[in-house]
Every structure is written in C-alpha cells, then in structure tokens.
Amino acid sequence: MKKIEETLKKLFSNQYRQRTVSYLIVVLAYVIIETAIRTGNISNTIKSLLIPTCSYIVAALALNLLVGYLGDLCLGQAGFMAVGAFFGVVAAAFFAKYISSNVLVLILAIVVGGVLSGACGALIGIPVLKLQGDYLAIVTLAFCQIIKTLLLNLYVGIDSRGLHFSFITDNTNMDPDGVLVIKGAIGANVTKKLSSFTAGVLLILFALFVIYNLINSRHGRAIQACRDNRIAASSVGIPVNKYKLLAFVVSAILTGMAGTLYGLGFSSLKASKFDFNLSILILVYVVLGGLGNMTGTIVSTTLLLVIPEALRAFNDYRMIIYSIVLIAVMLISNNATIMFYLKRCKEYCRKLFPKRRTE
C-alpha cells in the first residue's frame, strides 16, 4: 500500500507530472473509444478518422520536438510523412511475401518508413543546420515539394525476383506475377490495410516515450541549451550542430513512422495529399497546443480534426466557423489577462488540494 502511494507521488511530482498526464490521456481516450467501437456507439466518419488522427498526432509531437525544444521551424512534415507512407507501403508489400504475421509486417514497415525518413532528415540537416536563421524552414519547405514531385513520377513493382524501381515511365519489366505497388501519378496501391487504431495509439505512446526520455536527459538539455543560447551552449562545450542534427533526425524518424501508419490505413494513397497545406496544418496543431507542450499537442490535434467533422451539419459555413474557432483560440491563449486569470484559478486549485504539492 505504501509502495503504491510512493509511486503515485513520484508520478505526479514536478519532474514527472507532464509525462504522466500525457500517457494517462492517451490511454483513457483509447479505452473510451475502443469501448464505443465494441458497443457500436461510434459513427463511421469518426471511425475512419481514428488512424489519420493518431498519425497526425505523432507527426505533430515530432514537430513539437523541433519547434518547442530545438527552437527551429520545419515546414517539411508532409514530406517526411510522404517518405514514410510510400516506402512503408512498399516495405509492407515486400515483407508480406515472406512473413505471414500482420503485426510483424506492420512493425517492420514502420521501422523502414522511419529509417528512410530519418535518412532524408540527416541529408537535409547536415548542411542546413550549420546555418543560423530561417534556412531550415525554407529548405524543408522545398524538400516537401521535391518529394511530392518525385513520388508523382515513381513506379515500384514487386515480383518473385524482388523489388523493381523505375522513374517517369513504367519500365519495371517485371515477371508476369509482378504487381505495381506505386503507380506514378495514380499513387500507391495498398494491398492490405495493416494499420489499426490500436497500432496508432501504441505509436503515440512510443513517440511520447522517445520524446520525454530524450528531453529529460543530458542530450535533451543540450538540445534546449542550443535553443536558448547558441553561444553560451558552445562556451560550455556543447557541440551545437551535433545536437541540432540529433533532434532533427529523431523528429524525422518519428514523422516517417507516422507516415507509414497513415499510408497503411487506406487502400490507396496519393502523393498530392502530402502537400504544403498538410505541413502547415501540423504546425497549427503544435502552435495551438503550446510549444513544448506534448499533452497540448495531442488535445489540439484531436480537437482540430474532429471539429470540422462535427461542423459538417453547417456545410457551407463549415470552414468559416473553423477559422473563427482557430482565431479565437489564438487570441485567448495569447491574451495576458485571460492567462492571468487561468493562472489564478490554477493556484487556487493548488490551495484547495495542497496534497498534490509534493516536496
């Protein structure tokens, strides 16, 4: 009994509270939604939104690592997601030939999507992160466009001899038993929808685990030091470029994984889906959720994906109302007076429940 109390106290101590709340919210949401699904109390629209929502949440968490903790703006989330989605689909089709377990194929595909996206991150990050200023935003924006164009012209097929790649026109020259997985502008053909809501939630938990463990370590402190003061960080012996690259690559890996989850949740996939608008959308989730605030990111992403669906009843006015809600949230969360009263409320609650104040 005492041990349980001690563990609880530790989980809600200043050091761990943020983390605990994030995990709790995700698990709670999972239990509620899963129950609703089992009992048939959920509409088909919401059901079809579950996997994309999980995927966007992971991409937004990864972006928050960059914007919130590294202090660099990245406009290429859609590009990294696209890499993860398309190559994850290819990997899944490839592994499915040799492995019968769906779960294992999904895991392997996610790993492949993450690694390839991480490699793209390293490729961009090594030259660009040395520069100061907004170059990262500009270059990642360009990367997003380039990836989209490349994928629109890519053909990938699988036959008994293995993978075949060709570019611009379909020159894959496969055996008769071959199938085209990626068909240029037509997009990718997903043979088996391997992603599930459970897999999505597990990926969110994995992303939270990686991000929280990273930022609460000497590596994460170094990353934040680079954000707060580059010159001071190098004056205490922190290799600034190395840590910027680390954060950037970790973020790219997680985003690629989110992309694979997304890709394997639909029966077909188009490169045009992964455009600049998607990058901006994910950035909006992060900004609204609060920089460096992972729980906030999860909540804002979910709300902003669900609200437009809920507003379908208003049809023509849907996007107008959506924009008004966005602007209102921006104004409220940046308003000093309102924040002051929120803080007062918080302090008042603390006084009411003094027990929660450990140490």
Partner 1 sequence: MSEYVLETKNLGIDFGGLTAVNNFSIRVEKGDIYGLIGPNGAGKTTVFNMLTKVYEPSRGTILVNGTDIGKMSTIEVSRIGIARTFQNIRLFSELNVEDNVKIGFHNSISYSLADSLLRTGKFHSEEKDLHEKALELLGIFKLEEFADHKAGSLPYGAQRRLEIARALATNPCLLLLDEPAAGMNPVETQELMDTIKQIRDRFGISILLIEHDMKLVMGVCEKITVLNFGQVLMNGTPEEVQNDPEVIKAYLGD
CB of 213 to partner 1, least distance (A): 5
Residue 85 to residue 268: CA distance in whole angstroms: 11
Residue positions counted in the chain:
359
Q: What is the CA radius of gyration of the chain?
A: 22
**Does residue 238 touch partner 1 according to CB under 8 A?**
yes
Identify the CA nearest to 58 among candidates 124, 102, 113.
113
x/- track of binding to partner 1 for residues 337-356 (CB under 8 A):
--------------------
DSSP letters, 98-122, are T---HHHHHHHHHHHHHHHHHHHHH
Closer of 219 and 318 to partner 1 (Cβ): 219
**Strands (E) located in the chain:** 154-159, 162-167, 179-183, 188-189, 268-269
Judged by CB under 8 A, the chain residues 14 through 53 that form the site for partner 1 are: 14
Residue 293 to residue 287: CA distance in whole angstroms: 9
Structure tokens given for 40: 């048939």
Among 220, 256, 263, 265, binds partner 1 (CB under 8 A): 220
Among 235, 315, 334, 337, binds partner 1 (CB under 8 A): 235
DSSP annotation of 166 = E
CB of 65 to partner 1, least distance (A): 13
Instruction: Let me know: does 166 contact 179? Beta carbons within 8 Å.
Output: no
**Does residue 227 touch partner 1 according to CB under 8 A?**
yes
CB of 121 to partner 1, least distance (A): 15
Among 2, 218, 312, 351, binds partner 1 (CB under 8 A): 218
CB of 314 to partner 1, least distance (A): 40
Angle at the Cα of 91 (from 206 to 197), degrees rounded to 5?
40
**Does residue 224 touch partner 1 according to CB under 8 A?**
yes
Number of residues interacting with partner 1: please give it, by CB under 8 A.
25
At 188 the three-state DSSP class reads: strand
Residue 339 to residue 82: CA distance in whole angstroms: 38
Among 115, 137, 214, 281, binds partner 1 (CB under 8 A): 214
At 284 the three-state DSSP class reads: helix
**Does residue 222 touch partner 1 according to CB under 8 A?**
yes
- Name residue 183's beta-bridge partners: 155
Among 58, 246, 299, 305, binds partner 1 (CB under 8 A): 246
Judged by CB under 8 A, the chain residues 138 through 177 that form the site for partner 1 are: none
Among 1, 236, 313, 352, binds partner 1 (CB under 8 A): 236
> Measured in whole angstroms, how far is the alpha carbon of residue 128 from the centre of its chain?
22
**Does residue 118 touch partner 1 according to CB under 8 A?**
no
Residue 175 to residue 269: CA distance in whole angstroms: 24
Span from 45-53, 118-126, 221-229, 268-276 in contact with partner 1 (CB under 8 A) = 221-229
CB of 260 to partner 1, least distance (A): 20
Span from 103-111, 113-121, 137-145, 208-216 in contact with partner 1 (CB under 8 A) = 208-216
The residues that touch partner 1, with contacts defined as CB under 8 A, are 14, 210, 213-214, 217-222, 224-225, 227-229, 231-239, 246
